[in-house]
Amino acid sequence: MIVLYGGMGSGKTCVAKSIEGRGYRRIVTYTTRPPREGEINGVDYHFIDNEEFLKKKENGFFGETNTYSTIYGKWYYGSAWEDYSRGSIMIIPPNGITQLLSQANKTQPYDIYPVFIKASKTVIMKRLCGESGRGDNNEEVERRLKSDDIDFIGAEELSKTIIINEGSRSPYQIANEVISKYEEFLSTPKQKKLIYISHKYQNNPENKYRVRDIIKYLVKKYPDYIFLSPIHAFGFLYADVSYKEGLDMCLALLRLSHEMWVFDDYDDSTGVLGEIAFCKNNNIPYKICEDIKIEKEEVCL
């Protein structure tokens, strides 16, 4: 999905509307902010109160959320997992993009394409506070601009495309550029994510067969991932090398992986515990998976 982000008054909303007009579905985010004049619930935002927002957040309803301290109090914003799709577009701040990208297991199928919309402060003030502007409170505009200076530090590093929107091009022209680059991005072959499967071995052939069945199941469920098994890669060498040498081979493979998934009981496995410690020390994402009963096709969460 296309994800636009930019400071207040950068013009991202107009660009988003133009992209929506080209057949993309705009994701309507949730907010506790009061509606501005002319805004429609369910069209511009889903307007809900603080209690409902926090309850949804606690229940895992949102893929990303943000909180703003304004002169009117705290305002919450968030977008729902159920609304994400490849042919959609939404506007979120840099922190929201970071949240989505950090949860690649859920968001990867949607090919997130962040686009940074930029404008100078002079242009922004004219858009917001000029005679033809949208009439925002001057004090709130100043506060938001100062907040943006902090919130958008390093924001360019998140983007696939950076758009300078100073008014020389129409939102429609910018939308055409964004869509063109997004479609090119979708057509480019992508490196598959490498998942290291951690499971105890203890020289027990049953554990090797168990890992084989787990991977066969995962390959069908997650065709965009590549699953690596150190037991199958190096198990035949374990009898000929020291324990440390065997573990070092596994950790070398783990270092090349994007993430590690741990299956079944592992409390009595020195190897698995060592792999978990290695992930912690080297900032490699890992997760403890629920038991997979292949015949029931239970989901690994």
Q: Which residues contact 188 (CB under 8 A, 6 or more apart)?
A: none
111 or 117, greater pLDDT: 117
pLDDT at 239 over 70: yes
The CATH architecture to which 193-296 belongs is: 3-Layer(aba) Sandwich (3.40)
How many Å from the N-terminal Cα to the C-terminal Cα in the chain?
23
Average pLDDT over residues 230-256: 90
Closest Cα partner for 152 from 73, 92, 70, 80? 92
Rounded to an integer, what distance in angstroms lies between the CA atom of residue 123 and that of residue 166? 7
Q: Is the pTM of this model over 0.75?
A: no
Q: Are 56 and 62 in contact (CB under 8 A)?
A: yes
Same fold, 2-27+84-187 and 193-296: yes
Q: Which helix (H) or strand (E) holds 139?
A: helix 138-151
Give residue-wise pLDDT tens across range 155-174. Answer: 888 898 999 998 889 999 99
Across the chain, mean pLDDT equals: 87
- Give residue 40's pLDDT: 95
Dmax over CA atoms of the chain, in Å, equals 80
Domain-by-domain residue ranges, the chain?
Answer: 2-27+84-187, 193-296
Give residue-wise pLDDT tens across range 245-282. Answer: 988 999 999 999 999 999 999 999 999 999 999 999 99
- Give residue 253's pLDDT: 93
According to DSSP, the β-strands at 30-31 and 73-80 are: antiparallel
Read off the pLDDT band of 296 (50, 70, 90). Answer: very low
Please say whether the structural domain 2-27+84-187 has been given the CATH code 3.90.1570.10. no
pLDDT at 300 over 50: no
Closest Cα partner for 215 from 109, 300, 274, 104? 300
pLDDT at 1 over 80: yes
